[in-house]
Amino acid sequence: MAVVPESGRVSLEDEMEVREMAVVPESGRVRLEDEVEVREMAVVQESGRVRLEDEVEVREMAVVPESGRVRLEDEVDVREMAVVQESGRVRLEDEVDVREMAVVPESGRVRLEDEVDVREMAVVQESGRVRLEDEVDVREMAVVQESGRVRLEDEVEVTDMAVVQESGRVRLEDEVDVREMAVVQESGRVRLEDEVDVREMAVVQESGRVRLEDEVDVREMAVVQESGRVRLEDEVEVTDMAVVQESGRVRLEDEVDVREMAVVPESGRVRLEDEVDVREMAVVQESGRVRLEDEVDVREMAVVQESGRVRLEDEVDVREMAVVPESGRVRLEDEVDVREMAVVQESGRVRLEDEVDVREMAVVPESGRVRLEDEVDVREMAVVQESGRVRLEDEVDVREMAVVQESGRVRLEDEVDVREMAVVPESGRVRLEDEVDVREMAVVPESGRVRLEDEVDVREMAVVQESGRVRLEDEVDVREMAVVPESGRVRLEDEVDVREMAVVPESGRVRLEDEVDVREMAVVQESGRVRLEDEVDVREMAEVPESGRVRLEDEVDVREMAVVPESGRVRLEDEVDVREMAVVQESGRVRLEDEVDVREMAVVPESGRVRLEDEVDVREMAVVPESGRVRLEDEVDVREMAVVQESGRVRLEDEVDVREMAVVPESGRVRLEDEVDVREMAVVPESGRVRLEDEVDVREMAVVPESGRVRLEDEVDVREMAVVPESGRVRLEDEVDVREMAVVPESGRVRLEDEVDVREMAVVPESGRVRLEDEVDVREMAVVQESGRVRLEDEVDVREMAVVPESGRVRLEDEVDVREMAVVPESGRVRLEDEVDVREMAVVPESGRVRLEDEVDVREMAVVPESGRVRLEDEVDVREMAVVPESGRVRLEDEVDVREMAVVQESGRVRLEDEVDVREMAVVPESGRVRLEDELDVREMAVVPESGRVRLEDEVDVREMAVVPESGRVQFEADMEVFGKDIVRE
């Protein structure tokens, strides 16, 4: 202790602190300063109260004249202390709590009682330890003779505290942790060290702020003088917290968000508002469920008593979550699906299984790509360093996706194609552009026809009312058939094509010629089969003697055709399908039915066009008189086909695309070319499979002889398709999934079923919306006529999507949020803005990391190549996440901490371990309370039904939190001892 010469202050110094005490001359207050705090004490003249002030708080102490109680007031609390006359107990009252302290006469113990707890303290005679007992815990404290350490024992923990001789640090040891605390000599900061962390705390001299530093973070806290708000600053964020005077709400502001929290007085619900959302939370009295409501959704959460599962219900879904005891997997069930998630022990991959699929996800160590594998596919995803595009690769394809900076269009590129998609602002039409085509699609409001426009054509599709036939209209087209008199050939002409059929005299084959193809047909002498040959294919046709069916065989397929005796329909069967064809008596249309579809074909009398109708489509075909091209129109498309004179290729043009087809002379393959793609098709001689090759993919198709299923194989997938005989449904199977598709006869809806889901799709007749229903959801999609926005509605949400014309940004609106997405032209970053936040995402070129920036934070994410861990870095922290192979636990490491998380097999509790703590969390089945246990504490949380307060209980304490209705303050009632003080906060 000394007197500082300059100031005359009394200075008290030890190895870790410097304090000075003086009298402020102006006010006569006693001023106590240390390196982190300034406090002043005075007597208020008017009231005679003792007033203690520091930079963040004002407290006054007085004696209440009426009662003689000692009264302690600060800005948020009033406490009084008195001696109860009858019992001689010391009684401490504040606005939310009453506590009394006395000595139990029988035992001499000190007894502390409040409304929820009884604690007694005594000295154990045998050992001299101090013993603290309450109704749920026994703790004893002693000094270890050998070491002089202070030892604190309770039923679950042993803690020793000592001073390290060499360094003078205070050392706290328990069974799982070692911590030391000291004052750094040079700076006077308080330094707290444990095995994984170093933290220092000081007061910034210039500003008087409290500054907390560790190896990865710097934070400062102060009180804003003008507003009295508490302000927390770190290197990336500024947050202010205050109480709104008018409403008493708690208001939290930072640079990007404003949030307020209050309790609705009528209902006692907790209400959280920000600029885009209003949410309320309450406990349903009857069921005790937690209910969360916002403007678009109602959700309730409860614990199923019988099974202890967590059950989440909303208006469209019921989900339950549990841990499978045998395997420790997390199991998620809803009405249509069962999924389990686990970590594969050997490889540390995350494995997701459901009834139809197995998927695993890992990070490729060499490249840092995210790799997703299932039984039929391998996909990797990465960010291209140079361009920042997202790149998706699998074994057969490479795709990149980006946003075009100038226009804000979404651009999808692969090795053979470039496509861009946008919404035309004036008309709201969807516009799809690629290198060879521009298409726009809309619905004509007057007629409801689907209209497809491109640069050369307008097509509409409708049904002719008078005849009911399918009509595909353009301004053109007649096809005629005749016999050429000179040659006797049968000639089929339209204005773009001439075909003739004749018999080749030498061979007797029937020969069909047009400008690009020659086909011949003959009868194979040995078998009597009809044989059809062209330059790339051989087919034979015969009659099956047993059944009289007509049988058509080629190298990859067998089909049979017969007439159904009962109905006279023509029936076509192959190994995977049954189709029947008939003539509708009333209309004379040709009707083609299979187990899942009905189609009819007719000729429109007015135009002579061929019209094809099914339940969902109308198409017409004609010949354009000027050009002789074959023109195919439906309500949304116009296509024309011609033969290129020079090359003999078949050329197919529509308003947005040009394709040509030819036969490669050397190989006999069929070659299909357009401006962005080359594909060839052939039959593999050894296997008879149809093989389709392009520059990025090889696929083969065959019929499985045993089952007659159609089998499609490529390098990563095997799929089979068949028709279920009993139901006529189309069944698609691959190695991980079974799906069936049918048309519901009553409603005509398309129904898609798999083992975990049933979905139906239909068009709502009144509105023309597309409606998708499954067992848990109903969604409708439409285009808003006025604005051209795409509108998606379900039972709980309405969302609209549009492109902002001025900026080309994609704008997504729902009832509670507005978000816009764009690409920053200078940097190529993806920028996401809503009313409260601006975020940008980019790829750091040097490192390939994904970088996410907003106004207050910079984060980067990468995969550590050596270990395959996911690494997340920001300016103040480095975290890595991995799966421990031996145990399958999820392990999260940063520079100061190691944590592991697992599910305890026996109990299904979630267990969180780090180097200093073990915690488990479960739901108590009887009470539905959430229970959190660690090695030295048990806490339960519930909502008190009578008062709606949130109640937190542990073995030594009961706390409740509520909102004082009169003031709107959040009131936190505690029964805690902190250096002998009671705490009540609002």
Is 40 part of any domain? yes
- 834 within domain boundaries: no
Q: Is the pLDDT of residue 333 over 50?
A: yes
For residue 436, the model assigns a pLDDT of: 61
Q: What is the pLDDT of residues 98-115, one digit of tens each?
A: 777 777 777 767 777 776
Of the candidate ranges 210-214, 461-465, 772-776, 898-902, the one whose mean pLDDT is the lowest: 461-465
Position 854 scores a pLDDT of: 73
Rounded average pLDDT over 166-193: 68
Whether the per-residue pLDDT at 985 is higher than 50: the answer is no
Mean pLDDT of 126-148: 70
Residue 317 and residue 979: Cα distance in Å, rounded? 50
Domain assignment of residue 682, yes or no: no
Rounded to whole angstroms, how far apart are CA atoms 172 and 159?
7
Note the pLDDT of residue 451: 57
How far is 680 from 688, CA to CA, in rounded Å?
16
Look at residue 475 in the predicted model and tell me its pLDDT.
Answer: 40
**Within 10 A of 176 (CB to CB), how many other CB atoms are there?**
15
Q: Which amino acid is at 17?
A: E
Q: Average pLDDT for residues 466-489, to the nearest whole number? A: 49
In contact, 644 and 634? CB cutoff 8 Å: no
Structure tokens at 378: 């391998």
Q: Categorize the per-residue pLDDT at 983 as very low, low, confident or very high, splitting at 50, 70 and 90.
A: very low
**Residue 281, Cβ density class (10 Å: 0-12 exposed, 13-18 middle, ≥19 buried):** middle
- Model confidence at 975, in pLDDT bands (50, 70, 90)? very low
| pLDDT tens-place string over residues 913-922 | 776 677 777 7
* Res. 751 pLDDT band, cuts 50 70 90: confident
Q: What is the pLDDT of residues 868-891, one digit of tens each?
A: 667 777 766 777 777 666 666 677
**Which tokens go with 729?**
């449904």
Q: What is the pLDDT of residues 255-278, one digit of tens each?
A: 666 777 776 666 667 777 776 677
Domain assignment of residue 66, yes or no: yes
Confidence at 478, pLDDT banded by 50, 70, 90: very low
Question: What does the pLDDT average to over 443-470?
Answer: 52
Between CA 791 and CA 845 the distance in angstroms is: 38
Helix (H, G, I), strand (E, B) or coil at 607: coil
Q: Give 796-830 as a DSSP string.
A: S-EEEEEE-TTT--EEEEESS-EEEEEE-TTT--E
Which residue did the predictor score with more confidence, 64 or 459? 64
959: pLDDT confidence band, cut at 50, 70 and 90?
confident
Confidence tier at 799 by pLDDT (50, 70, 90): confident
Residue 24 lies in a domain: yes
Interval 180-186 mean pLDDT: 67
Place of tokens 């300034």: 38
pLDDT band at 327 (very low <50, low <70, confident <90, very high): low
pLDDT of residue 982: 39
When pLDDT is cut at 50, 70 and 90, the band that residue 472 belongs to is very low
Mean pLDDT of 530-549: 71
CB 982 within 8 A of CB 94: yes
- 8 Å CB contact between 340 and 330: yes
CB 936 within 8 A of CB 157: yes
CA distance 144 to 173: 13
**Residue 570 pLDDT grade (very low, low, confident, very high; cuts 50, 70, 90):** confident
DSSP letter at 81?
A: E
pLDDT of residue 976: 40
**Residue found by looking up tokens 């910079």 in the block:** 858
DSSP 298-315: EEEEEE-TTT--EEEEET
Q: What is the pLDDT of residue 725?
A: 66
Radius of gyration of the chain (CA): 40
Does the pLDDT value for residue 519 go beyond 70? yes
Distance CA 71, CA 94 (A): 9
pLDDT of res. 719? 77
pLDDT at residue 614, as a whole number: 74
State the pLDDT at residue 733.
74
Any idea how long the chain is? 986
196 in a domain, yes or no? no
In angstroms, the CA 440 to CA 454 distance is: 6
pLDDT tens figures, 696-710: 677 777 766 666 677
| Complete DSSP assignment for 483-534 | E-TTT--EEEEETTEEEEEEE-TTT--EEEE-SS-EEEEEE-TTT--EEEE-
Q: Which domain holds residue 34?
A: 1-75
Best CA proximity match to 743, nearest among 720, 766, 762: 762
Residue 716's SS3 state is coil
Residue at 53 is within a domain = yes
pLDDT digits (tens, 9 = 90+) for 587-613: 767 777 776 677 777 777 777 677 777
- The mean pLDDT of 659-678, rounded to a whole number, is 73
Q: How confident is residue 908, by pLDDT bands cut at 50, 70 and 90?
A: low
The pLDDT of 684-695, averaged and rounded, is: 72
Which pLDDT tens digit goes with each residue over 715-743? 667 777 766 666 666 777 776 677 777 66
Distance CA 321, CA 327 (A): 15
User: Per the structure block, which two tokens stand in for 972?
Assistant: 């936190």
pLDDT of 450: 55
Residue 748 pLDDT exceeds 50: yes
In percent, how much of the chain has pLDDT > 70? 46
pLDDT at 967 over 60: no
Domain count, the chain: 1
Extract the runs of DSSP E, i.e. beta strands, from 344-496: 350-354, 357-363, 370-374, 377-383, 390-394, 397-403, 410-414, 417-423, 430-434, 437-443, 450-454, 457-463, 470-473, 480-483, 490-494
Exposure letters 680-697 (e unless 16+ CB within 10 A, then b): bbbbeeeeebbbbebeeb
pLDDT digits (tens, 9 = 90+) for 235-253: 656 677 666 666 666 767 7
Closest CA to 281 of 927, 986, 289: 289
Query: Is 840 part of a structural domain of the chain?
Result: no
- pLDDT tops 70 at residue 316: no
Q: Rounded to the nearest 5 degrees, what angle is found at the Cα of 893, between the Cα atoms of 892 and 897? A: 115
Higher-confidence position of 195 and 970: 195
pLDDT band of 798, cuts 50, 70, 90: confident
* The predicted structure's pLDDT at residue 467: 34
Instruction: Give the pair of three-digit tokens for residue 819.
Output: 């978000």
| pLDDT band at 193; cut points 50, 70, 90 | confident
Q: 């902190």: which residue's tokens?
A: 978
Give the per-residue pLDDT at 457. Answer: 62
16 or 515: which leads in pLDDT:
515
What is the chain's mean pLDDT, rounded? 68
Model confidence at 195: pLDDT above 50: yes
Using the predicted structure, report yes or no on whether residue 978 has a pLDDT greater than 50.
no
